[in-house]
Structure 1
Amino acid sequence: MNARLCLIVASMSGAIAVMIGAFTAHALKDILTSKLMAVMQTGVQYQFYHSLALLLVGLLLQQRSTALLKLSAMSFFAGIVLFCGSLYLLAFSGVHWLGIVTPVGGLAFIVGWLMLVWNFITMDKR
């Protein structure tokens, strides 16, 4: 993932998080149970956090493109799709087996952060 694509994806992800959050708060407040509302809120929160992380990585990629930063960006994107996406689908559909995908997305988030750490640790060595 190059810097431009990373910044575009991060910006779109942030916009989508706002839309999903607003839709959930206004259109679904009387439809979803409080438990499913909490699931949606968790998805929106994590999407916001990792949209900002992806934005940071995109800005870093503009300065210096490294394999670790690219892997971090791809991991954050995968986490948004898998973690947040599975929570949204679970809340909208009520299909609880989708919850087995959520930890895979969480692992992708962790990998993204660790690749970012590793990038900073090895930065002076390059």
Structure 2
Amino acid sequence: MNKKLLVTGSIFGILGIILGAFAAHGLQKLVGVDAIQTFETGVRYQLYHAFFLLIIGSTSMVSLKMKKIIFYFILFGVICFSGSIYGLATNVLSAFNFKTIALITPLGGLFLIIGWVLLLVGIITNKVN
């Protein structure tokens, strides 16, 4: 499980840097300033959670069972939150109207919050000091 957390965190980090560079250099020719700022919000939260997964994968303060649960909440949270933000920010470039699935964004945010709460619970309930 630790390796899965570290690999996923690394992939989120790599993609976050690539998408951030795209927003800074390529996207500005295609969409407005507000859309770029929205896109960068998705990048920022993806990168926060890349570090989150790297930290979780490197600690022994949370049980493996709890790490697995946290992993899935963060994975789906980033996909739903950041992914939907990327779609909404670039909506004018796509034939698909991402506004029809805009409710996925707060659901993804809720998954991310639950992941953090589970981390807190996992640390508090851990018997090892």
Question: Does the C-alpha gap of structure 1 residues 7 and 125 become closer, same or farther in structure 2, counting only changes over 3 Å?
Answer: closer
Choose from 117, 123, 126 the match for 1:114: 117
Q: Which residue of 1 aligns with 2:27?
A: 28
Using the size of structure 1 for normalisation, the TM-score is 0.90
Q: Which residue of 2 aligns with 1:46?
A: 45
Whether contact under 8 Å (1:58, 1:73) holds in the other structure is no
Q: Which residue of 2 aligns with 1:37?
A: 36
* CA-to-aligned-CA distance 1:84-111 (integer Å, 9 cap, x gap): 0001111222432232110110011011
Whether 2:101 is the aligned partner of 1:98: answer yes
Whether contact under 8 Å (2:62, 2:126) holds in the other structure is no
AA of the residue aligned to 1:19: I
Alignment length (residue pairs): 124
Give the match's secondary structure for 1:118. Answer: helix
Q: Which aligned runs of 4 or more in structure 1 are off by greater than 6 angstroms? A: none
Whether 2:67 is the aligned partner of 1:69: answer yes
The Cα shift of 1:81 comes to 0.6
The Cα shift of 1:47 comes to 0.4
Question: Does the C-alpha gap of structure 1 residues 10 and 31 become closer, same or farther in structure 2, counting only changes over 3 Å?
Answer: same
Decide which structure has greater helix share: 1
Choose from 82, 85, 95 the match for 1:84: 82
* CA-to-aligned-CA distance 1:42-82 (integer Å, 9 cap, x gap): 00000010110011111126x76432222112111111111
CA distance in 1, matches of 2:57, 2:107: 23
